[in-house]
Amino acid sequence: MASYDLVIVGGGLAGGLCALALRRRRPGLKLLLIEPDATIGGNHLWSFFDSDVAPAHRWLTDPLIRHRWPGYDVRFPAHSRHLSQTYQTIESEALDEAVRGALLPAEIRRAVVTNLGPTHVELEGGERIDAASVLDARGGKAEGLDLGWQKFVGQLLTIPQGHGIAHPIVMDATVEQVDGYRFVYCLPFSPTELFVEDTYYADAPEIDHERLRDRIGDYAASQGWQVAARTREEQGALPVVTGGDFDRLWPRHDPVARAGARGGFFHPLTSYSLPDAVRFAIWLAEEAPLDARLAAATRARAAKHWKRGRFYRLLTALLFRAADPHQRYRVLERFYRLSGPLIARFYAGTSSGMDKVRILSGKPPVPLFRALRVLKDRL
């Protein structure tokens, strides 16, 4: 007999949001969340645009937001721009607090899962837990796909004299272009606290942590900031998808339901996962069958997401295969001359047909023959 209605394996962003949505929409559900780390969500910041989350879904995200700004800036060698699109950040500590406040202590297990199936999980040490359904939300690296990487190291800097930045700088690509498309990302948490992240769209996922930390220091010095302390640090290498086969990502014979990156629920070019994690959590809580049908239902949803992502995979292929690494910034430099609503729909993964035409029209910011070769291979 099943001990639980649903076991969620993995307490990252996807698993945490699923737990919150289920507790809100299906309060009588017998739920268990299993996470090996001490903190739900780990050590992360998730930033997103206001248009990334539908108004009807904001009940899930609004209580988690710790920072919000009315607009953001971008900087490129050829132009700079301010966009009046609300930008906000969730800290992993807020997700941890919310999940622990919504679930009972017995509904959260800190444990390592060594094996799992559609209706059971096995823990390190041999314990078996049965359930009507299991959801695998442990993250992953999009195995079996053609990938580039968005890799980064970020630090929270304390600048006692003030940093003078009023809005987030989502991309400062005026920095030296090395290891692919490089930009610096800045979030002003207070007049004296600034989160600075050195980010690369690179061919390989390896991170030279010390070099990136040094570059954060160099960037701060170039801005005239006197850094008194470096505290919170975050690093990662996120997959961006240039191509591949959905059946390699999620084999047909795999009987376990998936969420988050393990199911391919992220933006192929930006690697942003929060918009899809929110949509998935709402669907799971309001529509999904929490029984033996869950695996097929989640795979079907992932297959539709994969199909919708074809255009973004094409753009990723153009970025990585048609542009020399040190010239990739030109692609984003041109993109950020387009209309604000188009840019917002792009990040949300909801680009219209006309948006796609507009993005691809005109003189390409990459060598034409390379662009045509990529288009021929993809279209």
CATH of the domain at 96: 3.50.50.60
- Here the tokens at position 269 are 């070019």
Same domain (yes/no): 27, 173: no
**Long-range contacts at 248-252 (CB < 8 A, ≥ 24 apart):** 248/143, 248/144, 248/145, 249/142, 249/143, 249/144, 249/145, 249/302, 249/306, 250/299, 250/302, 250/303
Same domain (yes/no): 261, 121: yes
Same domain (yes/no): 116, 176: no
To the nearest 10 degrees (0 to 180), the angle between helices 353-360 and 340-348 is: 110
Nearest to 114 by CA among 49, 204, 36, 176: 36
Q: What's the whole-number mean pLDDT along residues 33-52?
A: 95
pLDDT in tens, 334-355: 999 999 999 999 999 999 999 9
- Here the tokens at position 304 are 């539709």
Domain boundary among the residues 308, 326, 355 is at: 308
CATH of the domain at 159: 3.30.70
* Half-sphere exposure of residue 23: CA atoms within 13 angstroms, side-chain side: 22
Same domain (yes/no): 108, 126: yes
Displacement of CA 316 from its chain's centroid (Å): 15
Same domain (yes/no): 251, 262: yes
Whether this model's pTM surpasses 0.85: yes
Domain boundary among the residues 252, 282, 308 is at: 308
Q: What's the whole-number mean pLDDT along residues 256-281?
A: 95
Q: Looking at the 3D structure of the chain, how many domains does it have?
A: 3
Mean pLDDT across the chain, nearest whole number?
A: 93
The boundaries of the domain holding residue 190 are: 146-242
pLDDT category at 41 given cuts 50, 70, 90 is: very high
What pLDDT is recorded for position 2? 60
Helix then strand then coil, % of the chain, to nearest 5: 35, 30, 35
Rounded distance, CA 227 to CA 245, Å?
Answer: 46
